[in-house]
Amino acid sequence: AIPKVPRRLYRSICPPHIYFYSRMKTSAAAILAIVAASANGASAFVAPRAAPASSALSMSSSVDDKTEVREYFNTEGFSRWNKIYSDSDEVNSVQLDIRNGHDQTIQKILNWIEADGDIKGKTVCDCGCGVGSLAIPLAQMGAKISASDISDSMAGEAAARAKALGIRNAKFYTSDLESVTGKYNTVTCVDVAIHYPTEKMAEMVGHLCSLSNDRVLVSFAPKTWYYSLLKKVGELFPGPSKTTRAYLHEEQVVRDALKKAGFEVTREEMTGTNFYFSRLLEAKKV
């Protein structure tokens, strides 16, 4: 059965919980919510700085994104999101909604894996593991975990929590996604793609597939006209705190990349709360 993991373990892998623009009833409601969030001190949730509107991003700009993410989640970002994805009562309604949305995504993955009933003893590579929100419960289910994060602070926190729970079948280390190597039964990458520029998404998915012998699980913020509109609205109210760029991705691009790598989508889910949205795909090797 799925282990009952304390909520404090279901914390973000990365901050895509910037998915907060989410499914508002109307554009007017979106504006009011974003303004209210800013007024209530939820500066971490107002729209992150937009990517440059110039021509296609070069490899150097991709490196800049990577550096930005690493620095943010080793400093103020780690403190902020560590509080949000915990049992802390020091969160506002927006932060609580994001916490609940991320919990739902993690639980859907665990439900799928429990339904399959074959994870014990299998190898799992969790790319962008954050503080272990997915890796830790998978280890408790018997999987052999290799989990990495671009942030030392995130990976270190995940390792500390696993140790506190007596988990010995999980290894946590610091690495960017492109540098991860090896072969695993299952490869997971949850709520990380929001940091990848559009033209790098297919390459990123291809790399994940190259690590997997059997299955890939990936989530991303889907690019639709509605979510794109809300993202632009959010950019009208930049917060005082530095955040990372946020990228939405067309689902067909992800599906095509999976197919090109020899994987077929077998299950899919969509998680949407008021301030969090994430598309989840499971693909198995054909």
What is the DSSP secondary-structure string of 73-139?
Answer: HHTHHHHHHHHHTSS-S---HHHHHHHHHHHHHHHHHHHHHHHHT--TT-EEEEET-TTTTTHHHHH
| Eight-state DSSP code of residue 286 | -
Q: State the DSSP code for 249.
A: B
> Is the pLDDT confidence value at 240 over 60?
no
Task: Answer whether residue 76 shows pLDDT above 90.
Answer: no
Q: Is 237 helix (H, G, I), strand (E, B) or coil?
A: coil
- The fraction of the chain above a pLDDT of 70, given in percent, is 71
Q: Which residue, among 250, 197, 191, 198, has the nearest Cα to 222 in the 3D structure?
A: 250
Hey, is 222 helix, strand or coil?
strand
Give how far the C-alpha of residue 173 lies from the chain's centroid of Cα atoms, to the nearest Å.
17
Q: What pLDDT score was predicted for residue 32?
A: 35
CA–CA dist 15, 49 (Å, integer): 14
Report the alpha-carbon distance of residue 96 to residue 36 in Å, rounded.
14
Spatial distance between the Cα atoms of 233 and 22, rounded to a whole number of angstroms: 11
- Please determine, for residue 234, whether its predicted confidence score (pLDDT) is greater than 90: no
Radius of gyration of the CA atoms of the chain, in A: 18
Contact 129, 148 (CB under 8 A): yes
Lowest model confidence (mean pLDDT) among 11-15, 85-89, 107-111, 228-232: 11-15
CA separation for the pair 181, 159 (Å, rounded): 20
pTM over 0.75: yes
Residue 226 confidence (pLDDT) = 64
Which CA distances in Å does 248 have to 62, 213, 231?
Answer: 15, 28, 9
- 189, 177 contact by CB (below 8 A): yes
Give pLDDT, residue 155: 95
pLDDT at 148 over 60: yes
